[in-house]
Amino acid sequence: MRRITSKAGILAMAGLLLLMGCGKDAGDKPEAKDKDADTAGITLKAEEIQSLGLTVQPAAAAQYQGQISGYGVVTALDAIAQADSDFLTAQATAAQSEAAAARARSLATGEEAAISREQLEAAQSKAAADQAALALARRKSDAAFGLNSPFRDPHARARAMGEFASGAAVLVRVTFPVTGGEAPRRLIISRMGADAKSWTSTTIWDAPADASVPGRSFYAILRGSDLAQNERVTAAIPSGAPQAGAKIPAHAVVYGESEAWVYEQTGARTFLRAQVDISRPSGDGYFVTNVKPGQKIVTDGAGLLLAHEVNPSTEAGD
């Protein structure tokens, strides 16, 4: 009887140990890990992403070139036309009086002179006065539009005036606070305000200094724009070698801790906040170098995502 009890006890003990082992295995079995759990950043549930209204898009590849910035104004057409009219009138008058003086010289020579010496001197005096008026008109034009303007050449002047009169081109005067050397080969002229449309000019020359604005001034003929007379514009001179990077939309940027940030999507439901430099605007966004082209970034809902990251207890719908 004692052997039977002892054998039963052994069997009972073995069963108990087996049950304990099974219970331990069941309790210690690790749960399936979320593949985003070990990724840096903030991991959200699918319903949280939906309630926050997050949308993402890849950052576009872009290039950026440094520039010197300045301001300018479109020269009024009446000022250009008046200067042109004054010069052409003086030129025509001088040519007429010079021809009259030449005829007078031919008529006043010889024993049978047709006109008196007094008439000859009057014609010569008139020619000299008209030449002085022409020189004055030229100096006024140079003072207004610079010594190197295309207006000094008759053919270039006629072409430019025709373009101004038809509206095909405008004359823009720009001033830059710091620049040296030769006149730039290219100027980028942009409209102020929300419509920051830009145009490029390659017809550029030095303008007389602007007494009201310190710096160096240039004139530029801008073709194909819709700028209005007397409209204020911004101007830029490209400088340095172009840099490769990415363009991020302005509404993708959030601000916190006195810095600018964007959220990169690093996993299916994981988002990583990355600091960006917004000192290089580009159209309706910014050029950055620490975000790779094609990297998915949050474009809508970034502000709510920042609030959720800073205060996880914040409900998405609040």
Closest CA to 205 of 215, 217, 218: 218
Percent of the chain with pLDDT strictly greater than 90: 55
Q: Which residues of 138-176 are buried (b: 16+ CB within 10 A; e: fewer)?
A: beebeebbbeebbbeeeeebeebbeebeeeebbbbbbbb
> 32: pLDDT confidence band, cut at 50, 70 and 90?
very low
pLDDT of 25 reads: 47
Q: Is the pLDDT of residue 169 over 60?
A: yes
> 314: pLDDT confidence band, cut at 50, 70 and 90?
low
Place of tokens 């038809």: 166
> 13: pLDDT confidence band, cut at 50, 70 and 90?
low
Q: What number is the average pLDDT over the span 126-154? A: 91
pLDDT of 101 reads: 93
Q: Is the pLDDT of residue 170 over 50?
A: yes
Q: Would you state the structure tokens that stand for residue 25, as one six-digit string?
A: 């295995």
269 to 34, 69, 152, 286, 310: CA distances (angstroms): 10, 42, 67, 25, 17
Please check whether residue 259 is in contact with residue 224, taking contact to mean a CB–CB distance below 8 angstroms. no
Give tens-digit pLDDT for 248-296: 999 999 998 889 999 999 999 999 999 999 988 887 899 999 999 999 9
Q: Which tops the pLDDT comparison, 231 or 19?
A: 231
Q: 63 burial class (0-12, 13-18, 19+ CB within 10 angstroms)? A: exposed
> 39: pLDDT confidence band, cut at 50, 70 and 90?
low
pLDDT of 19 reads: 46
pLDDT of 9 reads: 53
pLDDT of 114 reads: 83
pLDDT of 214 reads: 83
pLDDT of 4 reads: 43
Q: Is the pLDDT of residue 194 over 70?
A: no
> 23: pLDDT confidence band, cut at 50, 70 and 90?
very low
Complete domains list, the chain, with CATH: 42-63+244-310 (2.40.420.20), 69-238 (no CATH)
Q: 29 burial class (0-12, 13-18, 19+ CB within 10 angstroms)? A: exposed
Which DSSP string do the residues of the chain spell out, in sequence order? -HHHHHHHHHHHHHHHHHHHHHHHHHHHPPPPPPTTTTSSSEE--HHHHHHHT-EEEEPEEEEE--EEEEEEEEPPHHHHHHHHHHHHHHHHHHHHHHHHHHHHHHHS-STT-SS-HHHHHHHHHHHHHHHHHHHHHHHHHHHHH-TT-GGGSHHHHHHHHHHHHHTSEEEEEEEESS--SSPPS-EEEEESSS---EEEE-EEEE----TTS-SEEEEEEEES--PPTT-EEEEEEE-S--EEEEEEEGGG-EEETTEEEEEEE-SSSEEEEEEE--SSEETTEEEESSS-TT-EEEEESHHHHHHHHH-TTS-TT-
Q: Is the pLDDT of residue 84 over 60?
A: yes
Q: What number is the average pLDDT over the span 173-183? A: 82
pLDDT of 263 reads: 96
The pair phi, psi for residue 45, each rounded to 5°, is -80, 160
Long-range (24+ apart) CB contacts under 8 A made by 252-258 are 252/285, 252/297, 252/298, 252/299, 252/302, 253/278, 253/286, 253/302, 254/302, 254/303, 254/305, 254/306, 256/306, 256/310
Q: What number is the average pLDDT over the span 92-116? A: 88
pLDDT of 267 reads: 92
Q: What number is the average pLDDT over the span 165-186? A: 87
Q: Residue 240 region, left (φ>0) first, then alpha (ψ -120 to 50), else beta?
A: left
Q: What number is the average pLDDT over the span 133-148? A: 90
Instruction: For residues 140 and 149, give the distance between their C-alpha atoms in angstroms, rounded to a whole number.
Output: 12
Q: Would you state the structure tokens that stand for residue 243, as one six-digit string?
A: 């840099």
Percent of the chain with pLDDT strictly greater than 70: 85
Give tens-digit pLDDT for 210-260: 888 888 999 999 999 999 999 999 999 988 788 899 999 999 999 988 899
pLDDT of 133 reads: 95
pLDDT of 264 reads: 96
pLDDT of 242 reads: 85
Model-wide pTM > 0.85:
no
pLDDT of 283 reads: 76
